[in-house]
Structure 1
Amino acid sequence: MKKTAVMIYRAFCMQEISCLTDWMVGLGKLMIVCAADRNPVKTEEGFTVLPDLCYEELDLDEIDCLILPGIAEFPEVLKDRRQLDFLARFKDRSDILIAAISVSPVLLGAAGLLENRAYCGGFYQEVLEDLPFMQKANFRFEPIVEQDHIITAFGGAFREFALLVMQRFDFDLPKNTFGPLEEHWSKDKLTFTMESEAERNYWETALAMLKHECPQFFELSDKA
């Protein structure tokens, strides 16, 4: 059995891939953690992870899957050319499943792996507008998108993401393995737009004023 590689980078999110990686290892699939170099990497949650290999040491013939966790600080990761150079090695490797969740498809887009390919993720719409390489017309308001050897997913669909990747390797798991699945993913749940600091400050001020001057508006919620 070939191994699975997990790509890690600054402020990556462990939570979004933990269901998948836990079960993969538990069912006997070996894992390789790789990064731009061998230095420790701090996760979004505050853990420090030591990679097994740096990107240039990874032999692609030894793996059949690459997992990209979400990214809290994607502009910092995106500007590190080593990330994109590594991903460029996968352009002609349709034999390797690539599974990217949350904002990490931005790395696939920047590396040219999403060209003319449908994808999804946890993106602000403004980000898609401002990054031409993301090809906004190909973005889908869906929790998970599977096209050929690339799987992309919204961060909240981490259970569906784990199940689909496991199925691709013939691990037959019950749908409730990771807990209840979301039954109805509306477009509203999958649409994110930025709110300016001025708007947030305005609402905080307005809310404080309402609670002080119009407490009756909040009495029902307080009693509930």
Structure 2
Amino acid sequence: MATVLVPLAEGFEELEAVTVIDLLRRAGIEVVVAGLHEGPVRGSRGTVILTDIPLDAVMDRDFDMMVLPGGLPGADHLNADPRIHELLRRTAEGGRYVAAICAAPKVLASAGLLDNRHATSFPGVLDNAGVPGLSYETRAVVQDGRVITSRGPGTAMDFALALIEALAGPDRRREVEAPLQRPV
């Protein structure tokens, strides 16, 4: 079974975090939700999430994918934490997936993981990131190799389904998507 780490910081975007966690779990993927600190984490709209574990407890563990929800100031808190950069680099260097949505692609940029890649984000987030060779796109989800990015809360379901497809294949994505009753 594939394993995914979703780190949460104070001020995360609820729609993005919960949609990713929910849909990946519907696909039978093990999702570990880790808080930057011990205890519950409050989202940007005041929703409180109980994490599975503090981030320090998973620092020596490898995951098949690491997914960063956006939101502000959540993405800024993720970006300011050197443990997040360490885990992102280790995941990418191990040939595994890194993914980010909304404001969180700037964390990938800061970790050097968007250099010479195609990516997207919430409009304006990557404008001043100074990413060498970045090819910015406005599609809902952009996958460049094992780096997957998305635009914002409105694209969270597309993003989560793309993550499922990357980890478990198109058939599993269709199995999860069919009962969601998405418009065609």
The aligned counterpart of 1:131 is 129
Q: How many residues align?
A: 176
Is the 8 Å Cα contact of residues 69 and 101 (structure 1) preserved in structure 2?
Answer: yes
Matches within 5 A, 1:37-56: 37-56=37-56
Unpaired segments ≥5 residues, structure 2: none
Of the three residues 180, 185, 193, the one matched with 2:183 is: 180
Distance 1:115 1:137 in 2: 6
Using the TM superposition, give the Cα deviation of residue 142 of structure 1 relative to its aligned residue in structure 2, in angstroms: 1.9
CA offset digits 1:115-154 (Å, max 9, x no partner): 1111101032xx534332x347421122211111111011
The aligned counterpart of 1:69 is 69
Say which SS state the counterpart of residue 180 (structure 1) adopts. Answer: coil
Is the 8 Å Cα contact of residues 65 and 91 (structure 2) preserved in structure 1?
Answer: no
Matches within 5 A, 1:169-208: 169-170=168-169, 171-173=172-174, 177=180, 179-180=182-183
Aligned residue identity for 2:116? N
Is the 8 Å Cα contact of residues 117 and 134 (structure 2) preserved in structure 1?
Answer: no
Using the TM superposition, give the Cα deviation of residue 83 of structure 1 relative to its aligned residue in structure 2, in angstroms: 2.9
Matches within 5 A, 1:24-103: 24-58=24-58, 59-61=60-62, 63-73=63-73, 74-94=75-95, 96-103=96-103
| Greater strand proportion | 2
Say which SS state the counterpart of residue 90 (structure 1) adopts. Answer: helix
Distance 1:121 1:136 in 2: 16
Say which SS state the counterpart of residue 130 (structure 1) adopts. Answer: coil
Distance 1:106 1:52, change over 3 A: same
Aligned residue identity for 1:180? P
Using the TM superposition, give the Cα deviation of residue 20 of structure 1 relative to its aligned residue in structure 2, in angstroms: 3.2
Is the 8 Å Cα contact of residues 37 and 55 (structure 1) preserved in structure 2?
Answer: yes
Distance 1:98 1:141, change over 3 A: same
Flag the structure with larger Rg: 1
What do you get for the CA RMSD once the two structures are aligned? 2.4
The aligned counterpart of 2:140 is 143
Is the 8 Å Cα contact of residues 10 and 77 (structure 1) preserved in structure 2?
Answer: no
Distance 1:80 1:19 in 2: 24
TM-score when scaled to structure 1?
A: 0.68
Distance 1:11 1:105 in 2: 16
The aligned counterpart of 1:158 is 156
